[in-house]
Amino acid sequence: MSQPDNLALAHAHTAELVDFVQRLMQMPSLPGHEGDVARVVENEMHRLGYDEVKTDRVGNVVGVVHGGEAPSLLFNGHMDHVDPGDPAGWPYPPYSATISDDRLWGRAAVDMKGALGAMVYAGGLVRQHDLSLPGDLIVAAVVLEEGGGVGTHELLTYLRPGACVIGEATNGLIMRGHRGRIEFVARVVGRSVHASMPELGANPHYVLARFLDRLERLPMVVDPVFGPASVAPTLYQTDQHSPNVTPGEARLTLDWRSVPGQGPQEVCAVLQPLLIQDLPAGFEAEVQVVENHFVTYTGQQVALPASFPSFLLPENHWLIDSARRVVGAALGREIAVDVWRFATDGGQVASLGIPTVGFGPGDPTIVHTNREHITVSALREALAGYLALATALPRQAL
């Protein structure tokens, strides 16, 4: 079968797909604890007949279905998820994967075990039904996306696909990019004293208060597609726990959403002068990119900067035109193109010059909430779309 009816094929295998997604959702897999899910994904790839299946040193599960001589296509999805919070706030237990009225409820339904399951099954159906592939299809189930992109960072040390599809939620649209995310810490060191004698100290609170006032009024670069960059102060820590001692050090975390052209150095060059402007004597102040430290479920220790680049494919890029065409043909409707509001692993992939788009089931506005759910019909359409991308994307243009 060289030109399958992808939607009919997806219909025929919907029950198997839903069962697989439910099994994934019923296993908690917080960042750094994806081992149980990884083993299920690996076993399912073997059962479905993938030509190659391996687990790398950080715990990514990578399956390959061999195709022709054209460049490979990567389907990228992550196994980890954010904490569900208080189970009492959910309509159904967050790890129950309950189905009600065509909706599959629970943590990671949308972000993103639904898409991951559909990607895994797309590769399996290609092999089981002997479908023709222009080049190899690589399906990667990566770790620690929520924790900082560790899995995809490792993946790109040994893979260079010709193109990539990120399975984050798009509501069935094709996404061509997103703003980046850079996490900074503004650190001010002063002098701690007893709170009854504040005049003897150098209180970093006041330096950061003036910095926040200037930050709120900072003009932002405006991108014609993404709109303005943005910055949000989030966390605040000091070196003191006693209410009657002024701190000697205070740290303010900033979440900066960057537009193209804004890397860590460019943003730091804006923030540092803002922090040290009119800095009184007796203080040291510095803005730095946060470095995160991780331990993977395989025991690997990894340190990475909290910096996730933006990316944007041109509207007329061949990958966007082709993805719209093949997914639209599979689903029988026009497919719109948009950009994500949040950052994904796609920025890492695109930063290496690999054409990257997003396509995934589910509503992105309910990810990380206690309303997270995905419809069975959306899973079915995602499977059909991934089958179309795998078999019909004209990879000779890569």
Give the CATH number, domain containing residue 33. 3.40.630.10
CA angle 17, 110, 40 (to 5 degrees): 45
Same domain, 201 and 272: yes
Same domain, 14 and 152: yes
Q: How far apart are CA 36 and CA 24, in angstroms?
A: 9
| Residues composing the chain | 398
Torsion, Cα 39 41 46 47, to 10 degrees, reads 110
Query: Residue 1 falls within a domain, yes or no?
Result: no
Same domain, 169 and 223: no
Last residue of a domain, one of 295, 319, 346: 295
Residue 284: CATH number of its domain: 3.30.70.360
Domain containing 371 equals: 6-178+310-397
How confident is the model at residue 147, as a pLDDT? 77
Counting the structural domains of the chain, the total is: 2
Same domain, 104 and 206: no
Same domain, 100 and 61: yes
Query: Residue 300 falls within a domain, yes or no?
Result: no
Last residue of a domain, one of 271, 295, 319: 295
Can you give the pLDDT of all 398 residues of the chain as single tens digits? 446 799 999 999 999 999 999 999 999 999 999 999 999 999 999 999 999 999 999 999 999 999 999 999 999 999 999 999 999 999 999 999 999 999 999 999 999 999 999 999 999 999 999 999 999 999 999 999 997 899 999 999 999 999 999 999 999 999 999 999 999 999 999 999 999 999 999 999 999 999 999 999 999 999 999 999 999 999 999 999 999 999 999 999 999 999 999 999 999 999 999 999 999 999 999 999 999 999 999 999 999 999 999 999 999 999 999 999 999 999 999 999 999 999 999 999 999 999 999 999 999 999 999 999 999 999 999 999 999 999 998 764 55
Query: Residue 72 falls within a domain, yes or no?
Result: yes
Q: How far apart are CA 202 and CA 334, in angstroms?
A: 62
Same domain, 13 and 45: yes
How confident is the model at residue 1, as a pLDDT? 42
Q: How far apart are CA 205 and CA 109, in angstroms?
A: 42
Type of residue numbered 31: P
Same domain, 205 and 270: yes
pTM of the full structure: 0.94
How confident is the model at residue 259, as a pLDDT? 96
Q: How far apart are CA 110 and CA 234, in angstroms?
A: 25
Q: Are 180 and 262 in contact (CB under 8 A)?
A: yes
Of 386, 336, 387, 381, which Cα lies nearest the Cα of 362?
A: 381
Last residue of a domain, one of 235, 270, 295: 295
